Amino acid sequence: MTGLAHIIIYIFLFISLYYEVFLLITYFEKRLLMQSETAHVRRGVKKYPTVTIMVPCWNEEKTVSATANSLLNLNYPKDKLKIMLIDDGSTDNTWQVLQKFKNKKQIEIYHKENGGKHTALNFGLSKITSDLVGCLDADSFVDKDALRNSVVYFEDKEIMAVTPSVKIWRPKNIIEMIQKVEYAWGIFVRKMLSYLGAMYVTPGPFSIFRREVFERFGGYRHAHQTEDMEMAMRLQANHCKMVNSHNSIVYTVAPDALRKLYKQRLRWTYGFIKNAIDYKYLFFKKDYGNLGVFVLPMASISIFSAIYILGAGIFNFGRSVFHEIVKINTVGLHWPVWNFDWFYINTELIAVVSAIAFLGTVTIIFVSRKMADGKIKLGMDLVWFFLIYAFIAPIWLSKAVYNSIFSVKTKWR
Amino acid sequence: MESKINYKKYLYSFVITAIIFGTAFYLSNYFDQKKIDDIRAIQDKISIDIMSSETQFSLLEESSCQDLSSQNDLTDELNTLEEKLTATENQRGANDPEVQTLKQYYSLLEIKDYILMNQISQKCKKTPLNIVYFYSTDNSCADCEKEGYVLTDLREQFPDLRVYSFDYNLDISAVQTLIKINKVENNLPAIYTDGKIYYGFQSVDDIMKAVPELQALANAKNATSTAATSTKKF
């Protein structure tokens, strides 16, 4: 590799390591606070506010019942909780499935012409009168204490939105197990960003807002099919306070095939890039706190950093494979002679630094596991995550960057 | 929730990251130096072994060949040295001054060993089992990588085979003299064995044909192995 390529990698590795160190310091700073938070949340509230949860559906005949039932099972005063199931012009039997719920006191069902998720949400918003508003994707299920826990944070009058911890529902195959690791990382980072006042996503599944937020700042926008990101950025731009309720658990069904995962991540990354561009005035401004000065720039750089570093790794791996193939072609396949000599361990600076950055990632994953599951468990999912994710992530990251530059629209499904 | 920016934390993180990077840099340099030292130590050992053999050879001028100790340990050491040297060259680049010095030392050791083996073989009326291989590290030798695999494979198959590899462009007079004496043209890879020069890529089979002793050894190996597997139990 040329000197310049080396230097670029060192810069990216330094930045990545810096971000990891920063997050870990935040974690150690806030560990005790997190525990007292959990205890406080368990005590619950004296007066429960009224809440409406919207469930926008488009062709979700298979999963929407489970979603609605999980809402009905919420540990929350039934007279204070309303559930709106909104069919956004489905072409399957979703509307028929929704009929099952029309006689439940808490549930209202609606049907409208297809217009996209944000139109379904705004449609729901126009009919809501409760104190708090939440949204739940039709392929997600809530833990029964999720709402109760989130609501506690609204006791602070300044809090405008509360985000949950999102976990993968019963991962079975390798693709789902990789995401389980990834989502655990997400739970950790979201909590840390919450402490920094720097969350830039209010996840679709079960983020709760004060209704006045929509009155003051408007409803959902199309936002490149990532309206949950845009809403968070809009609130941040208006200096609204948001926190993460790490004890509010939501389960979401993960894409179970590589192609579906790729499409989803492409949409997310493209959405982030486009929303970041729309909100570029937040970048590097002290006014917007840690979000503007550090988190948004870091999240943006990490896209290119991941592409470059992982791309270089894949390139080197490909080159080694190519050499092995030439060797096998020349002399045939032999049993490798195992002759371990410490001499051959790669001790170039890049290898040592990469190993350290990798260790940082592993540390964060272990810490996030402890947060999400309460214990640290070693499993094959970690192995799959490191092996496979490193190869596939650069692909959708690159494609998202390409799409942003050349304005190729991404599809929802 | 912090709405203020804690600049101290940013600074601490930077310092910690810089320390980690600094430590990595130090570790990397430390191991690089240890590797160079390891190669030098091997070279010194080989140098002593060759001197020892030469001295032994002089002392035993009139003695029989059985008294001369086996040279096969030296083959292993030379092979190990060559592999480590190649790994270091790949990592640091062919133009690194350390690599150049190590290669020069190594080439001289090879030539000394080559001369010694020829003397011993002459005295003991055996045919020397060796191959002299010329390569280059610039882009003019497209087949050198493949030839390297072939020779490494042969070394593993035949522990008694000595492969002496020389960088054709190495700036040291002994190597250049070797090239002149054997009239090796700049057509690489080039293999010199048993008085003949072969230019261009030689596969494992090509070399077995060029060095009939190898074929004989291979046949002997096959005979013993097939004998072992074909014993019937009654």
Q: Is residue A355 located within the same domain as residue A386? A: yes
pLDDT higher than 50, residue B184: yes
**Least confident range of A164-178, A256-270, A311-325, A372-386:** A372-386
How does the average pLDDT of chain B come out, rounded?
Answer: 83
Most confident residue range from A185-199, B74-88, B156-170: A185-199
pLDDT higher than 90, residue B86: no
Q: Is residue A182 located within the same domain as residue A300? A: yes
Residue A337 belongs to a domain: no
Inter-chain CB proximity A347 and B28 less than 8 Å: yes
Give all strands of the β-sheet with A51-57 in edge-to-edge order.
A107-112, A81-88, A51-57, A132-135, A208-210, A159-168, A241-252, A140-142
pLDDT computed for residue B213 by the predictor: 83
pLDDT higher than 90, residue B155: no
Tell me the count of A-B CB pairs closer than 8 A: 85
Q: Is residue A248 located within the same domain as residue A396? A: yes
Residue of A331 and A126 predicted with greater confidence: A126
The Cα diameter of chain B in Å comes to 93
- Shortest distance between the Cα of A357 and any Cα of chain B, in A, equals 10
Q: Is residue A17 located within the same domain as residue A94? A: no
Domain containing residue A106: CATH number: 3.90.550.10
Q: Is A51 left (phi over 0), alpha (psi -120 to 50) or beta?
A: beta
A14 touches chain B (CB under 8 A): yes
A304 touches chain B (CB under 8 A): no
Structure tokens of B116?
Answer: 């010694």
Residue A231 belongs to a domain: no
Structure tokens of A128?
Answer: 């809501």
Domain finish residue from A133, A156, A179: A156
Residues 6+ apart with CB under 8 A from A198: A236, A289, A290, A291, A294, A295, A296
Find the mean pLDDT for residues B18-27: 92
Residue of A47 and B58 predicted with greater confidence: A47
Contact (CB, 8 A) for A49 and A154: yes
Q: Is residue A140 located within the same domain as residue A278? A: no
Contact (CB, 8 A) for A316 and A329: no
- Spatial distance between the Cα atoms of B18 and B22, rounded to a whole number of angstroms: 6
Residue A213 belongs to a domain: no
Find the mean pLDDT for residues A4-13: 87
Q: What share of chain A is helix, strand, coil (3-state, %, to 5)?
A: 60, 15, 30
pLDDT computed for residue B93 by the predictor: 81
Inter-chain CB proximity A241 and B1 less than 8 Å: yes
How does the average pLDDT of chain A come out, rounded?
Answer: 89
Residue A395 belongs to a domain: yes
Domain count, chain A: 2
Q: Is residue A11 located within the same domain as residue A92? A: no
pLDDT higher than 70, residue B70: no
Spell out which residues of chain B touch residue A341, defining contact as CB-CB under 8 Å: 84
Residue A219 belongs to a domain: no
The percent of residues above 70 in pLDDT, for chain A, comes to 97
- Spatial distance between the Cα atoms of A48 and A151, rounded to a whole number of angstroms: 8
Residue of A209 and A369 predicted with greater confidence: A209
pLDDT computed for residue B69 by the predictor: 54
pLDDT higher than 70, residue B72: no
Residue A68 belongs to a domain: yes
- Shortest distance between the Cα of B205 and any Cα of chain A, in A, equals 10
**pLDDT bucket at A357, cuts 50 / 70 / 90:** confident
**Least confident range of A158-172, A251-265, B47-61:** B47-61
Inter-chain CB proximity B1 and A197 less than 8 Å: yes
Residues making up chain B, counted from first to last: 234
pLDDT computed for residue B53 by the predictor: 79
Q: Is residue A185 located within the same domain as residue A114? A: no
Spell out which residues of chain A touch residue B37, defining contact as CB-CB under 8 Å: none
The domain of A411 spans 1-43+158-198+239-327+344-413
pLDDT higher than 90, residue A230: yes
Q: Is cis: bond before B189, omega within 30 of 0? A: yes
Q: Is A129 exposed, middle or buried (0-12, 13-18, 19+ CB in 10 A)?
A: exposed
Residues 234-253 of A with CB under 8 A from B: 241, 243
Nearest residue, CB atoms, A337 vs list B17, B156, B204: B156
Structure tokens of A215?
Answer: 């009155």
Inter-chain CB proximity A352 and B204 less than 8 Å: no
pLDDT tens track for A91-108: 998 999 999 998 888 999
Q: Is residue A250 located within the same domain as residue A138? A: no
Chain Cα centroid distance, residue A323: 39
Map out the domains of chain B as residue ranges. Answer: 10-127, 129-226
Spell out which residues of chain A touch residue B2, defining contact as CB-CB under 8 Å: 195-197, 289-290
Spell out which residues of chain A touch residue B202, defining contact as CB-CB under 8 Å: none
Most confident residue range from A78-87, A324-333, B144-153: A78-87
Find the mean pLDDT for residues B117-141: 84
- Spatial distance between the Cα atoms of B29 and A296, rounded to a whole number of angstroms: 35
Whose CA is closest to A134, among A158, A155, A154? A154
Residue among A352, A356, A358, A361 with most chain B CBs within 10 A, to mutate: A352
ipTM score of complex? 0.83
pLDDT computed for residue B1 by the predictor: 45
No. of helices (H) and no. of strands (E), chain B: 7, 4
A294 touches chain B (CB under 8 A): yes
Spell out which residues of chain B touch residue A348, defining contact as CB-CB under 8 Å: 28, 32, 91
Residue A10 belongs to a domain: yes
Contact (CB, 8 A) for B46 and B81: yes
What are the backbone dihedrals phi and psi of residue A165, each rounded to the nearest 5 degrees, phi first? -100, 125
Q: Is residue A9 located within the same domain as residue A134? A: no
Residue A300 belongs to a domain: yes
pLDDT computed for residue B208 by the predictor: 87
Q: Is residue A320 located within the same domain as residue A243? A: yes
Structure tokens of A302?
Answer: 């990490």
Q: Is residue A13 located within the same domain as residue A117? A: no
Inter-chain CB proximity A289 and B28 less than 8 Å: no
- Shortest distance between the Cα of A330 and any Cα of chain B, in A, equals 6
A375 touches chain B (CB under 8 A): no
Domain finish residue from A104, A122, A156: A156
Whose CA is closest to A261, among A399, A98, A136? A399
- Enumerate the H helices of A246-295 as residue ranges: 258-278, 289-290
Q: Is residue A141 located within the same domain as residue A263? A: no
Find the mean pLDDT for residues A371-396: 82
**pLDDT bucket at B212, cuts 50 / 70 / 90:** confident
Looking at the domain that runs over B129-226, which CATH code has it been given?
Answer: 3.40.30.10
- Spatial distance between the Cα atoms of A229 and B84, rounded to a whole number of angstroms: 53
Whose CA is closest to B41, among B81, B73, B69? B81
pLDDT higher than 90, residue A249: yes
Residues making up chain A, counted from first to last: 413
Residue B208: count other Cβ atoms within 10 Å of its Cβ: 19
pLDDT tens track for A57-86: 999 888 999 999 999 999 999 999 999 999
pLDDT tens track for A129-174: 999 999 999 999 999 999 999 999 999 999 999 999 999 999 889 9
Spell out which residues of chain B touch residue A330, defining contact as CB-CB under 8 Å: 146, 149-150, 203
Domain finish residue from A127, A156, A185: A156
- Shortest distance between the Cα of B5 and any Cα of chain A, in A, equals 6
Can you tell me whether residue A67 is helix, strand or coil? helix
Q: What end-to-end distance do the CA atoms of chain B give, in Å? A: 84
- Spatial distance between the Cα atoms of A46 and A205, rounded to a whole number of angstroms: 26
